Structure 1
């Protein structure tokens, strides 16, 4: 049973929001390659009367609706990229792009933004702000320029406050989580390349085993967290990819491994990053040519004013509001946008997109990843409330 009531004013947008999400679900694209996605979103926003600003060489764009030069500007971010994995959902709107899927629900974020944008364009007299919608490329892959590049290009120039949401299908539709402090971790993706010397498996002493060296380095990283970081400051090290060798009876001369680090304070993030570089340097003393590249995001730190604005907007129609939630251990480059607005006046919140009654209860990046479309108008109504009050 629903414990919330969508405003009668926006119910007419239900079909529009569902059709937008389901179409976007069919065309997921890799980080930085969101060409079809961007074209579709731009076409919708242009038709609604928004002024489009593109970023040459990139797929991201922002769209402005100006009603009064004396008003402040509010911005909303929607990320556009999918994940490089097959879509295992069994729906009529399954991904048509091989090995690409919206298993983080960015199709949901875009549909919510488009729905809110349509309502605001059709009811400009209700606006308390001039409005900007930022459609961001490349949130998922830390190695590809995303929010940071859009900030450099001016996406938050003239913006007074900024908001974003992230769906979570482990939460019920009609619920949100937010806080007025750290909302996501400091995070980075690392790539380790180890070059050794190949040899026959029967004569390992004649080569330099890149697999053994890479494994040793990865084990050292676990040691760093165990012995060099503050036990009261959470830190996570993960290795998600490991590739090396071509035959079972040869010592490989090259291995690449990739993974992530996460932490909940800036000091720990610095320890982890410096340790990665130091470990790679020490590998050279054993005769290996080793490199470690690490790129990542600062934490999203919600501004108290902005988080209270979210709570006030959601309280007009929702009951299930967790206003003191724990931060997620995942990372979000929305932090670059928050950090670039005056007084860092911005906030991120989590929007429930699951429904136990419909059998929808999965975590981000799960495969298959299902979303309850009822969440679309919930997210849109919160954005609308923020823009009109």
Structure 2
């Protein structure tokens, strides 16, 4: 446990982001026993001009002009910093040497804003926790001189087009500079250990309270009355970057006695897929996050039919914890990141295995297995996740004493 410390959290997601954020959950846990400044990413000049009509950008413009405070207390021991400095859009620059010069200039402006905030709150001997901000993060250790610099890797960002051009070169450098590297999957731990021996898999937290149905209070939606049982279901974005349409089609055609229910927004390829022509496949569309437990309850068997690619190989799918929290049997693609769930999830390497495991999963769905899944999901709290982070930081820095 780390208590009574000052912690600065930087990353690629602002506090006012509209979607859930690992980094925000971690910062909230940090603040239970430590003082924390959560630093928003700096505003990019070109984005400010293009999106100046947005409320979030308008707020940043007011802060830049001194009309609102840049450092806001948002909870006990927790402050949110809106950097005033504008940075330039440079990721498109093909010349590495020029990118390097401009990236450092961006980082200096960002670091200066952080220094003003740390001075105002008298932060000393702080831990700098960097959630995947690899470009600016390359220089923050030298510019801010933290007591400990922790880099958090939870996505294979360098395989995404935006980050790939410079990220494949820079992220290993950031990993190497860090005092400790924290990851949410065994795949990322192995990747980072190539560059830093102090790399540790700390898992991931998940707020599964919404999916707690031990009092049987969650109601199955009316839509299920028109859907024949048994039901194999998925909740989440239906995107062909991550999900296997061919696999879903094969399962639907082989298991015609099953209904395949897909809950979530579709990308273009899903909308145009042959799945819409299969009589036992049901698309229920986007649902509010608060409704998802109701839909999961309507499934007899849950699934995460991922493709195996650079985006998914190390991905920690939060939905697995949500499925487990409701005690549901789960059938998923076997990836490195899924190995930690192998005692509670049926993992398939082929589409034929998917079909075989559907029968096996239902035959073995005992009361004891249901209870075991629920208990395992409960262990994946943000509190436990942060305890692992603390333990790893202490382990990596104990040689200093």
Same fold (TM over 0.5): no
Richer in strand (by share): 1
**TM-score normalised by the chain length of structure 1:** 0.25
